[in-house]
Structure 1
Amino acid sequence: MNKFFIVLFHTYVSKLKTKSYIVSTIITLLLIVGLANLTKIIDYFDKEEKDHIGVIDQTGILYDQLEGQMQAINNGVELRPIEDEASARKLINNDKLTGYLIIENHPTEKLKGTYKANSISDSTISNDLLMALNSVKNNLTAGELKLTPEQLTALNAPAAFEKVALEKSAKTEEELDQARGLVYIIVFFIYFNVIMYASMIANEVAMEKTSRVMEILVSSVPPVQQMFAKILGIALLSITQLSLIIAVGYVFIKQNMNDMNEGLFTYLGFGNTSISTIIYAIIFFLLGYFLYATLAAFLGSMVSRVEDVQPMIAPLTILVMVGFFIAMYGLNDPTSSFITGTSFIPFFSPMIMFLRVGMISVPFWQIALSIGILVITIVVLGIFGGKVYRGGVLMYGSSKSYRDIKKALQIK
């Protein structure tokens, strides 16, 4: 058992010191700090000058109305009257205008607006101009029909519409939006980390075979103990990084909690995350890691060169990607039969079942069944993978076929 822990901590410490791990951890922590301070960063850049939009009013009477509507819709855009297009283009070339709007009468639609700018990639300005122009058109139509302002307001008011969930434990629309953002972040984290750490395990085994270190290890530590020691060693590495992310995230999110109750953060649910959601996130992350790490370890033992690792573990990567894309679909329809069914498939359930748990009310027996299937699959893969690993680490030469698994099983 002492040899098991020697391999475990050697794997952990050696990977902990690598530049790639240190750099990826620092970058991740910087992203967390940036996300926690996103509101302040946006406010800083929003202090820049307003967008200036020229208006060529060919009707001669609508500029003031348009300016008033635009101020109500987006006061970050400032309108200014322009005589003709030549003057507007000159101002654009001198960076005095972002773009310009031409307003003219239309035979059937009453008004027509044409927005011109060097680039129309920013749809916010054009959409706001369209809304303002539509409001002006509605006012003109109301005047022709002799409608009072109260009648116009009543005409434009939307119908009252409310969604009511019959289940007492069902989330409201606002809670679903918050859960959707948070689940997306956690599912992406599971996806990214499973791929990264599973690949790390496969590369670790292949590198030891390439340097012939494996022959020394096999003579002193049983191969199966090696495999699980490496899996747990990389797991400790993942937990270390995860702990740093949680600690830094907690500190900065707590400092900026008042700023995170509005804007983008209303869709991330930081203020309404339940303890059960966090617990399930940790459970499914760890189970997903052990599932794919076991696969990666025995597949990595089949190759003798690091260059052959990625082709060998390609099916593993594809499985994780498929699970991720199914989860992205499930964000919009977590109650569909397809999502319910795939949440019990062990290679997908770390992401799909967590998606369901985070967004809707799931019977406990379904969660328990999914976790049970995952655990059984990990145990079966562990037993099978241990046998493959035991023979695979002793196989040298080019291995490009999964039929070599049979050869590995035959080596005693």
Structure 2
Amino acid sequence: MSKFWVVLMHTYLSKIKSKSFLITTGITVLLILGISNLQNVMELFIKDEPKQIAVIDQSGTFFEPFRQNAETLEPDLTINQSSANPETLEKQVMDGELDAYVVLSSDAQGLPKGTFHAESVMNAEFAYTLDQSLQQTKVAAGTEKLGVEPEQVAQLLAPVAMEKIALEENAKSAEELNQARGLVYVMLFVIYFSVITYASMIAMEVATEKASRIMEILISSISPIQQMFAKILGIALVSLTQLALMIGFGYLAVKDRMEEIDAMSGGIFGFSNTSPATIAYCIIFFLLGYFLYATLAAFLGSLVSRIEDVQQMITPMIFIVVAGFMIAMFNLGNPDNTFVTVTSYIPFFAPMIMFLRVGMLDVPFWEAGLSIVILLGTIFLLAYYGARVYKGGVLMYGNSSSLKDIKKAISMGKDN
């Protein structure tokens, strides 16, 4: 057993000390910190001076309510009425003296309309504010012509949401569904990228050692199954270390803005009320998915003799991962259809799709338990046959880059 830990720790320490691990982790952490503080970074390059807007009011009545509405919506706007002709204002905009100018006029019904002029409409972020101001001005003018009180209009235009009540016992509320959807969305990406990145790393690790003929020494001192799982667990520790650093720095970067993020996302990323069962399932299916694909990647990596052939060998496995991810993502808003239910029991899809179901629906425990049992059974079978493939595969040299070599590897494993 001591040899198992030697291989495990060697795999773990060699990976976390490697330049690739340090560089990729460092760059990812910097990206997380940069993205989480993107608004602050962008504000450094935004001028603090108020936007200067000139308005030509051809109607003679709409300027004042338009100005009040605009400056209420965005206090950084400075709006002044101008009697200059459009050509003069256009020159001032092009010279940088003005940010934009607006021409207000009346339509056939006596309601306001306007045209916005700026050097570049694409870069004029405040144009949307002026649109809203013009709309409010039109509503005010229209209600005045119709003799309707502004308070009555405000009541009619106030947003209303239909309350949603689930009749099924123990069904999730709308708020719980929103939070579950956010957690499922995040974890689907974590499972997807972790499996692709770290399972490929295991296959590459095996192929690298095999290419250097280290395997011939290793298999004489430790059993194939111990060696295989030592590498799987070693890379698992590497992945958990990297994920912990990313999540830790990400949390530190946004912890002071969690309420703001929660409000902006409509409660999707407010995980405080997420049920413990959903979090437990999240951890269980993440670990089971990792070990399922890691075991598969280990013995696929043992079949190749050249590092260049690793990607070709594991490509079918990656297609399966992508298929499971796409099924889960496309059914994030419809997790209770028959297709999702059936695929949630297919072991190579279950880590993502069953987690989608338990996160979004009130799935009976026996259904989730059955999927977990199927996953565990599949991992055991992969470990059993994988060890036999691994034992023979590490002794195979030459051109071996197709799945038909599995039979040959099992045969060689029996003879040794």
Tell me: CA distance 1:347–1:151, structure 2 relative to 1, closer, same or farther (3 Å).
Answer: same
User: 162-171 or 254-263, which moves further after superposition?
Assistant: 254-263
What are the residue-to-residue correspondences of 1:68-107 with 2, within 5 Å? Answer: 68-81=68-81, 83-107=84-108
User: 209-218 or 53-62, which moves further after superposition?
Assistant: 53-62
Quote the offset at 1:16 in angstroms: 1.6
Q: Is the 8 A contact 1:298 1:389 kept in 2?
A: yes
Q: Is the 8 A contact 1:179 1:269 kept in 2?
A: no
Distance 1:182 1:42 in 2: 28
Letter in 2 for 1:143: E
Where does the alignment leave 5 or more consecutive residues of structure 1 unmatched?
A: none
What are the residue-to-residue correspondences of 1:197-236 with 2, within 5 Å? Answer: 197-236=198-237
Identity %: 50
Distance 2:388 2:12 in 1: 24
Q: Is the 8 A contact 1:54 1:100 kept in 2?
A: yes
* Counterpart position of 1:13: 13
Quote the offset at 1:265 in angstroms: 8.5
What are the residue-to-residue correspondences of 1:258-269 with 2, within 5 Å? Answer: 262-264=263-265, 266-269=267-270
Distance 1:360 1:78 in 2: 51
* Counterpart position of 1:4: 4
* Counterpart position of 1:22: 22
Tell me: CA distance 1:109–1:20, structure 2 relative to 1, closer, same or farther (3 Å).
Answer: farther
Quote the offset at 1:284 in angstroms: 1.3
Q: Is the 8 A contact 1:327 1:352 kept in 2?
A: yes
Deviations 1:86-124 (A, max 9, x none): 444444444455544443434479444444445444696
Quote the offset at 1:260 in angstroms: 5.8
Distance 1:189 1:393 in 2: 31
Q: Is the 8 A contact 1:11 1:233 kept in 2?
A: yes
Indicate yes or no: 2:306 matched with 1:286.
Answer: no
Quote the offset at 1:289 in angstroms: 0.7
**Could you say what the CA RMSD is over the residues aligned between the two structures, in angstroms?**
3.3
Tell me: CA distance 1:280–1:79, structure 2 relative to 1, closer, same or farther (3 Å).
Answer: farther
* Counterpart position of 1:60: 60
Indicate yes or no: 2:349 matched with 1:358.
Answer: no
Deviations 1:220-256 (A, max 9, x none): 3233322121111111222233344455556666666
Quote the offset at 1:35 in angstroms: 6.8
Q: Is the 8 A contact 1:36 1:256 kept in 2?
A: no
Secondary structure of the structure 2 residue equivalent to 1:66? helix
Q: Is the 8 A contact 2:300 2:313 kept in 1?
A: yes
Letter in 1 for 2:273: N
Deviations 1:314-369 (A, max 9, x none): 22222222222333223333334333333333222222222333333322222212
Deviations 1:50-72 (A, max 9, x none): 54444444433212212222234
Letter in 1 for 2:12: Y
* Counterpart position of 1:390: 391
What are the residue-to-residue correspondences of 1:135-284 with 2, within 5 Å? Answer: 135-158=136-159, 161-245=162-246, 247-248=248-249, 262-264=263-265, 266-284=267-285
Tell me: CA distance 1:169–1:92, structure 2 relative to 1, closer, same or farther (3 Å).
Answer: farther
Quote the offset at 1:175 in angstroms: 3.4
Deviations 1:358-381 (A, max 9, x none): 333322222212212211121122
Secondary structure of the structure 1 residue equivalent to 2:220? helix
Q: Is the 8 A contact 2:262 2:268 kept in 1?
A: no
Tell me: CA distance 1:60–1:290, structure 2 relative to 1, closer, same or farther (3 Å).
Answer: same
User: 191-200 or 85-94, which moves further after superposition?
Assistant: 85-94
Q: Is the 8 A contact 1:91 1:97 kept in 2?
A: yes
Distance 1:75 1:9 in 2: 60
Distance 2:179 2:406 in 1: 46
User: 103-112 or 396-405, which moves further after superposition?
Assistant: 103-112
Letter in 2 for 1:6: V
Q: Is the 8 A contact 2:207 2:305 kept in 1?
A: yes
Tell me: CA distance 1:262–1:162, structure 2 relative to 1, closer, same or farther (3 Å).
Answer: closer
Distance 1:96 1:328 in 2: 49
TM, length-normalised to structure 1: 0.86
Where does the alignment leave 5 or more consecutive residues of structure 2 unmatched?
A: none
Tell me: CA distance 1:34–1:222, structure 2 relative to 1, closer, same or farther (3 Å).
Answer: same
TM, length-normalised to structure 2: 0.85
Deviations 1:135-191 (A, max 9, x none): 222222222222222333344344563222223533333333333333322221222
Letter in 2 for 1:135: Q
* Counterpart position of 1:327: 328
Q: Is the 8 A contact 2:225 2:383 kept in 1?
A: no
Quote the offset at 1:5 in angstroms: 2.2
Q: Is the 8 A contact 2:176 2:274 kept in 1?
A: no
Secondary structure of the structure 2 residue equivalent to 1:103? strand
Quote the offset at 1:15 in angstroms: 0.9
User: 376-385 or 326-335, which moves further after superposition?
Assistant: 326-335
Distance 1:243 1:120 in 2: 44
Q: Is the 8 A contact 1:142 1:152 kept in 2?
A: yes
Q: Is the 8 A contact 2:196 2:318 kept in 1?
A: yes
* Counterpart position of 1:378: 379
